[in-house]
Structures are given as structure tokens and as C-alpha cells.
Chain A
Amino acid sequence: MSVTDKRAPGVRISDLSVVYRTQAGELPAVRGVDLELVPGTITGVVGESGSGKSTLALSLLNAVQPPGRISSGSVEIDGLGDVVSLTGDNLRKARGRHVGYVFQAAQNSLNPLKTVGKQLLDLGRSHDVDDLPGLVKEARSLLDRMGMDGARVLDSHQHELSGGMRQRVGIMLALVLNAHIVVLDEPTTALDMITQATILRIIREVHEERGLTTLVITHDLGVVAEIADRLAVMYGGRLVEQGPTREVLGAPKHPYTRGLLQAIPRLVGDIDEARALPGRPPTLGTIPPDGCVFRERCAVRMDVCETGEPPVLTIGPRIVACHAEAGEREPESEPAEEPEKETVTTGPVRGEEQA
């Protein structure tokens, strides 16, 4: 296995907005997102379906599918520059080489007519790999490393592999070109519990061995709690809270994060303590254009939430965007005037734990 001495690259997403063209005009799926992926860490993005988390993940490769498009913002990747401004062959080569993308396990991410090995060779040819036997060797050792019979897997078609095996093949294809940024979209959805645990362990181990910067997209707080160093919570296309996983889960500051945590039933204790969030998450068409996106379901909703963009507060390593939280911090500065973008902090936030 080739452990490179190259340092894991960082990713800075700034003020990223993605819109989808619909009959009702262009609607934002992701709006004004600021997120830093600290080199060498695993960041988890949590959100319900429709929160824009998958769109955010695709933005990292500038691969938002039409009718969607990135309308503003940038995605700076160390050693690559702003992905949003990349086009043509430069963009294509960045995908796979710099950023590996792992599809949801339930999705069929392999050509059903070709063996894994042949698709690996196609991948190598696409990226002008001269040493194809070397590539196959690398792939085989990666697969072996993940607990499979590499030679046999390369000889198999997709339909001959189980969900967990496909997921590991997906990880192999994302890493085999030596990408150091890996995006995993719902890596454990549709897998059984034991396979889930195995995949998560593999992700964690490979992440550390190869020195990666990893982004995990999931709707499952449990997954994030298990592997992510940092956690970002997404709702209605916005990042409402982010920070070190343990701190966010231990003392959530945004009412949505609190709601998510309360909705999880525990094995120990009263089942009635688990309370589902009232209402439904917004869809593309029902995201309110002004004010706080979460106010419809919020327990601590105030008048200002109707009109004012929630202020983005930086509290140590944590960031939270909420009027109620802001009011608690500075009770005297709560006038109804629009909070300006100045309060938005985009500066890098030091992750305290380094992998």
C-alpha cells in the first residue's frame, strides 16, 4: 500500500449556493453554505432528505446535475484551486484523481455489463495511468485490505456482489487513483447492521492509513457519532450548526439539532422521551425565502425569525445560526434590524483533534 508523504489537503467551501431550475423559477437547494473540511479529519454532514446535503456533496466535484447549477460561492481545494471555476478536462481529471466519490450502497454505481476489473481499467485509461498492471495490483491490495478476495472481486460483475461488497468496491474505485479527498454519500444506507458497522470501521481505518480528508453525507446521526470528527447539520439548504462532533451532540445549540437528538429512541429509559419533530422538512418549493428556514417547526420561535436571516455565531470551535441563541448571548443587541452578513464568520475554525 502506498502511504504518501503528501499531506492531506483541506477544502474550504465559501458562501456556496446551488439553485434548481423549475417551472416556478430558480429555487435554492443550497444557500450560503460556509464549511471547512480540515485536513485529515472526517466531517459528517447530517440532514433529512431534501435538506440539500447530497447537492452539497456533488458541489465538491462541481457535478451538480441539471437542472441544478452552482449560482455563487467557491469550493477551494488545496493543490487544485477553486473547483467551481474548473471546466472541461481539468474538471474531469480532478474527479477521481483529487476527489473520490462513493455512491450510496443501494445505488448501482457500476456498469452492469462489465466486470469490476474492466471498469477499473477504463478508469485508469481515463486518467492516463501508464502502469495499468500497477493499478490493478493497487486495487487488489485495497480490496484485500477491506477484507475481500481482491482477485475474485475484480473478476465479478456487479450483480454477483452483495451490497456491502459493492460499497467496498466503490471505496476502492474512489481511492485507487490516490485521491486524498473522499466524499461518501450515505455510505451505509440500505445495508444491514453488521455490514454497516464493518463499512464504518473500514472507512475510519482507511481514512487514517492513507491520510485522507473525508466528507460523509448521512441522515443518520449514529453514523456521524461513530466516525466523524466534525459535524455539520443541514436544514432546508442551510448549515444551521457545526462543530466538533462530541460537543455538538453533547450540548446542541440549534433547536433543530436538539430536535434531531430528542427524536432518537434510546434502548435505556422511557420510550416516551423520544419525541419526533413536529411537521415536515421543507421541499425545494416550500423553503421560505426570508427569515429562518426552520421556524415552522421551531419550539423557540420568535417574531424576528419571520423576517431576519439568523445571525451566524462563532462560539469557540462551534458555529450556530439561530436568533434564539443570539438573543441568549447578547440580550441587549436584539433589535429587529436585519443582521448583516458581517457577523458571518468564514475564517478557518481549528479542529482541536487532529487525526
Chain B
Amino acid sequence: MTLIGVPGRTGGIAVVRRLAGHLARGLVMILVVTTISFLIIRNIPGDPMAAKYEKLVEQGMSPEAAQQAVNVLYGFMPTGSMWEQYLDYMKGLARLDLGQSLTVPGTGVSTVLMSAAKWTLIPVLAGTLLSFVVGIILGVYAAIKRQGKLGDLLAISGSLLHGVPQYVLALLLGAIFTTLIPILPAGGTADIMFEPGLNAGYIGSLVQHATLPVVTYALASYGGWILAMKSSVVTVLGDDFILAAELRGMKRSIIFRYIARNAILPLFTILALSLGLLFGGAIFIERIFNYPGLGLMLIDSITGRDYALMGGAFLLITVAIIIANIAADLLYTVIDPRVRSGGEAA
């Protein structure tokens, strides 16, 4: 476009433009997701809201009061046209009012969600970072030694772990470490005998209970990292500028840094994207190890017919992904000078 040719100065404008575009797209996505979640809750067989409303009226509540009560519970009106209900639901969302939880009576959905979210962070965040670091290092190794036995072995281990679904890994690890060699606890976040707080016993128990969820998550994502890093390094190794640096007599350590930096660049974007799974990435792990994060809460809300909570959890999980998508793209603009200046990529 007109931006080409004046590098440097246009950088800021390009970034702002991208940011605006992404935010707009993100908002549209959130709108779509909330609409889906509205339609699903509205169309649940047996219409739980209408049922509740009728029950309240039967119990002698006035229709207005009953309507009010249902609205508080589910976040939207049980009567009125679909369109009115939709607008009402969206208005509630705009105030961050997600309704009331049934399973934890008297508590707002947002409060319940927040308390669950912190537990989801542990397996996903720790697992992602652990697997990222290990996968990157081994990926470089697998690329350099790709003609040898060890490189082959690393690549195969990567594809196998990458191919196996999370719950299979979780079940296998669980079967080994809680049933066959019972050295790790089978579920929960910490033993109840310890007082929550900053004491050694509680923290030790916390770590012990988090081990299986974190390790499972790390193993499940490790394969992706090692494969991605390997192929990225192989690509960079074939680039002309690496040979050029060699022919200029550059030190090996400097060439290695050139390779590493160029190869890891696309991986950072994937890292940002995978952090979007912060809330929804460990559903199986949480279910299997009975870890009370958002995933477990989503399942419990479905089996317990707590639809307001379900809608809220789904929304939170999705919004995290949308935000991560935007962040990943912005990150790319920040770390890659080619995109930053709006040059060739424009």
C-alpha cells in the first residue's frame, strides 16, 4: 500500500492499524460466541427457565417477582420474545453479570468462575512453559542431529506424544503413579489435613497434587514443540544467510545465535496462541485428576444442569483464546522487524 517505501516512520501507524483491526475482529468473535451460548441455553430441552418460572408462580410468587428471580438466576428473562431475551442477556453480559450459580447457591457465576480459574492456571501455565523450554532445546538438538539415531529417536518420540490425546496420557500416568506404584495422590489440590496458607506442609501437598496434572499437560504439548522447533531450525539452517555468515568467518557461537533467534521466532507466536488454552486446555486432566479448574467446572455444570455457570465458563474459555489470538499477532509485529515496519509483509 502507500506505506511501503518509508520504513521506520510508518511502523507505529501499521501497528496501531493492526491492533484496531484485531480488536474489532475480537469483538465480533465475542459477539458470535455469546450468541451461540445464548442460543444453546435458550434451546435446552425442557426449557429450564420456563420450568423454573412456572414453578415459582405455582409456589405463589407473583409473575413479575418470578420473572425477576429467574432473570437473576439465568441472566435473562424467561418470557418475552427471543429478541428481547437476547438483548437482555447481552445487557447483563456487558455489566459482566453472568447470572447466579445453581450448584453454589447465592453466589454469582463470575465469582465461582474466578475461584475455579486459578486452579486451571496451574497445569496449563506450568505445563506449557515446561514443555516449551524442554521441547525447544531438544528440538534444536533433533534438527542438528537429524541424520543420526538420537535425532530420529527424538523426532519419533515427538510425533508419538504429539499424536496421543491428552486423556490417554493422563490415564496412563494415573494408572502408573496412583494405582500401580501409588506414590502420587489420585486427585484434588491438596490434602485437607493441611491448613491452606504459606506453610510448608500445604505447599508441599500442593506441589505433590499438581505434579501429575502439570506433567501430563507438559508431556501432551511437548511433542508439538519439539516437532515445530525441529522443522523451524531445519528451515533456517538451509537459509542463505547462515552459509553467508559462515563464509564471512563468523564465530560458531554467533551463527548459533542467528539460527536460534530466527528459528524460535515463529514458535513465540504459537506459544502465545497456546496460552489461549489457559482456561479450556486441561478439561480431561482436571476431570481425571479431579482438579477443580474451569474444565471440571464446565463438566459439572453440564451434568448438574447449572446452565448459567456453563454459559459463563464457555464464554471465559473462548474469550481467553480470542485474546491470545490477538496477542499472538501483536507479538509477531513486535518481535519481527519485517512485520514491524510494515514492509514486505504489507
A contact set with B: CB distance below 8 Å: 58, 61, 63, 65, 92-97, 100-101, 103, 107-114, 122-123, 125-127, 156-157, 159-160, 170, 173-174
Contact = CB atoms under 8 A, between A and B. Distances in A.
A123 B338 contact: no
20 contacts: A61-B247, A63-B243, A65-B243, A96-B248, A101-B248, A103-B247, A107-B244, A108-B240, A109-B240, A112-B262, A113-B261, A113-B262, A114-B258, A122-B250, A126-B250, A156-B7, A159-B341, A160-B8, A160-B341, A160-B343
Contacts of B248: 95-96, 100-101, 123, 126, 173-174
Given A92-B249, A127-B249, A159-B343, A112 B240 contact: no
A63 B249 CA distance: 10
B337 interface: yes
B8 to A, nearest CB: 8
A108 B240 CA distance: 6
B3 interface: no
Contacts of B247: 58, 61, 63, 95-96, 101, 103
Given A110-B241, A125-B254, A97 B249 contact: yes
Contact of B251 (A65, A109, A110, A125): A125
B337 A112 contact: yes
B341 A157 contact: yes
Interface string B247-288: 111110010001001100100000000000000000000000
Contacts of B249: 92-97, 123, 126-127
A159 B240 contact: no
B118 to A, nearest CB: 37
B7 A109 contact: no
Contacts of A110: 241, 244
Nearest to B338: A159
Given A101-B247, A113-B336, A122 B240 contact: no
Contact of A112 (B241, B245, B250): B241
Given A96-B249, A126-B251, A127-B249, A113 B337 contact: yes
List of 3 A-B pairs having minimum Cβ-Cβ separation, nearest first: A96-B249, A95-B249, A109-B244
A293 B258 CA distance: 41
B64 interface: no
Nearest to B242: A111
B246 A95 contact: yes
Contacts of A156: 7
Q: Which of B241, B243, B344 has the most CB of A within 10 A?
A: B241
A107 B247 CA distance: 14
Contacts of B240: 103, 107-109
A158 to B, nearest CB: 8
Contacts of A111: 241, 245, 258, 262
A126 B249 CA distance: 7
A194 B198 CA distance: 73
Contacts of B241: 108-112
A259 B203 CA distance: 83
Contacts of A126: 248-251, 254
A95 B254 CA distance: 15
B201 to A, nearest CB: 48
Contacts of A101: 244, 247-248
Contacts of A123: 248-250
A108 B191 CA distance: 59
A58 B338 CA distance: 30
Given A126-B248, A160-B8, 8 more contacts: A96-B248, A97-B249, A103-B240, A111-B245, A112-B241, A125-B254, A159-B338, A173-B248
Contacts of B7: 156, 160
A100 B338 CA distance: 28
A193 to B, nearest CB: 22
A122 B254 contact: yes
